[in-house]
Amino acid sequence: MILAFEYCLYFRNVALALVVSATLLFGHARAQTPPPEKTENNKPDKTKAVQPLELPEFVITGVESLEVPGGAKQVPKPIPKLTLQQISRFNPLDKQPFTLLPAAPISRTLLAQQEKNGFVQGEFGMFITPSVKAGYRAVFGNFDLNANAGAVFSNGYRPNTDFTDIHADIESSYLAPEKFFFFGGSRTETRLRVRNRNYKFFGADSTAFPESAPQRNVLNLEAGVQTVGNFEGWQYDMGASVESALLGGVHENTLVNGHIAAKTSLGTFSLGGKADVQLQSAIDRPLTERYWLAPSILAGYNVSDFSLSAEVGAHIASTGFENILRPSASLKAAFAASSLLTLELSAFTGIRPNSFLRALLQNPYTANISFPSQPLILEYTFETVGYDIAALVRVHPSQYLTAVIGGGAESLNSAMVFGVADKSGAFSPSFFLTSTVRVFAEFDGRLTNQDNLVARMNVRFSASGARNSTAAPHLLLPYLAPFDGSLQYRRQWLPQFHSVLEGVYVAERPVTTIGSAKNLPAYFDLRLKVEYQITNAISVYARGTNLLNQSIFLWQGYQERGIFIAVGFVMTF
């Protein structure tokens, strides 16, 4: 009896298995059966993708069970479309601020617009000025490499104004796989930049240099690495860089920078720490003699319509002659009052390093560190920031219109400023107690599908006094314009043709805080560019600057070239 029952169970399981196998074979045969021949009245819809065969899931209960791969799938629900108004409300606190800087020269590279991996650009302009630039991007798995190089050669528009400018930049980005314990998912970026410039001090005293002005060769080197990632809930950011300026092969100034920061999220709050360091060397001064340290605590608060980040710590500086210790604080806040309006506030107090590299970036005719007429240049005193505050209102009614109006004020001690050039045409920086109040406004709007308008305005009120002395008379800061502004209009005439018209106005500027030297005149720089896309890979353009042939002086004795017209091409691949 028991034996008969076991045989019955066995035959039942076998029968069930045969039924399932037959079902699978039948479904497979149906999937392999060729479709019926097409007729004029039975054409397949080419807009619909062929759906793969889906089999139902079988589960057999009993002494034995068979598992069939696959299963019933849920059809995803379509995502509803959003209106433009809803889209413009996304991340109101993450909207990128304007640069708040003078209008940059008209862009001559189409690489970003065409999203190609490589480009070659060539140009030739008046005063025998050819230039060439090329770049390429390559991606190897998680490794992204970008490289570009260029050169400009000019015969000059007057004696001693010829120059050359050659540069090469290499940047890379690496996304670490998750298999790495600490660096998994982190991104590491590296950069290497080299720039070599040759130019003359054509603003020098003609009686002291009757035949040729002094010439300068500047070699700038920069290398750095930075890693940003997340480990066990902690966001970290660390990196180091080296910058150096060589004049005629001599290391005038070298900076070594390093930073490390980490923070973690505690709900709507965040907490962490940060440390920055900068070491400086110049000619015979070692790196350990002049340094700047900045340890601090990071704190933040973020909700849907309000963001606040604070950094509080201390700044420790050594000039080689004295040591400075000062508390530091940095604050940034943003409040989305509505989907159309954002309020932003920033404040800072502490110490900022001065350096010959910083001065050379601002004024290419800065006197050498070893220049004998200015002993203070050997020190390059650290700049002490009493306060630097700014507030602005950002109106963004749509993704096509943005307007900003704001203001700020700052008070600096030992601020680096430039006065009148000496007979050699070089500018030795001085260090003053300065105060500046600023009002600014900007507008960026896509008026129609073909028209775009960008406007910018700056109004400044400034004063300065002798270094570390409040008794000295306060005069206007040298070379700081009380007003400047720009207006840029872009018109897309045809899908392949567009033009950019731009005007930049800079008011009259004082040249010194001492005496009654003649101020630099105001000027209006009118620029125009037209560009035509021949193919998807080749475009040609023509551009002109200073079309009104204004007398433009950026520094005393150094007049910029007059009207300049150039033609060029851009090829992408």
Question: In sequence order, which residues have a C-beta less than 8 Å from that of residue 293 and are 6 or more positions away?
Answer: 275, 276, 277, 315, 316, 317
Q: Which residues of 278-307 are buried (b: 16+ CB within 10 A; e: fewer)?
A: bbbbbeeeeeeebbbbbebebbbebeeeeb
Q: What is the homologous superfamily of the domain 84-572 according to CATH? A: TonB-dependent receptor, beta-barrel domain (2.40.170.20)
Q: Which residue has the tokens 């107690």?
A: 433
Strand (E) or helix (H) holding 132: strand 129-140
- What is the value of pTM for the model shown? 0.76
Q: Which residue has the tokens 């110490």?
A: 351
Per-residue pLDDT of the chain (573 residues; tens, 9 = 90+): 443 444 444 445 545 455 444 444 444 444 444 444 444 444 444 343 344 444 444 343 334 333 333 333 333 444 444 444 443 333 333 333 333 333 334 333 333 333 568 999 999 999 999 999 999 999 888 889 999 999 999 999 988 999 999 999 999 999 888 777 667 788 999 999 999 999 999 998 888 887 788 999 999 999 999 999 988 889 999 999 999 999 998 888 999 999 999 999 999 999 999 999 999 988 777 777 889 999 999 999 999 899 999 999 999 998 877 888 999 999 999 999 888 899 999 999 999 999 999 999 999 999 887 654 444 444 567 899 999 999 999 999 888 999 999 999 999 998 888 888 888 899 988 888 899 999 999 999 999 999 999 999 999 998 887 655 555 556 788 889 999 999 999 999 999 999 999 999 999 998 865 555 688 999 999 999 999 999 999 999 999 999 999 999 999 889 999 999 999 999 998
CA dist., res. 165 & res. 356, Å (int): 20
Q: Which of 131, 188, 195 lies closest to 543 in space, CA to CA?
A: 131
Q: Which of 115, 166, 168 lies closest to 137 in space, CA to CA?
A: 115
Q: Where in the sequence of the chain do the CATH 2.40.170.20 domains occur?
A: 84-572
Residue 218 · residue 359 · CB < 8 Å: no
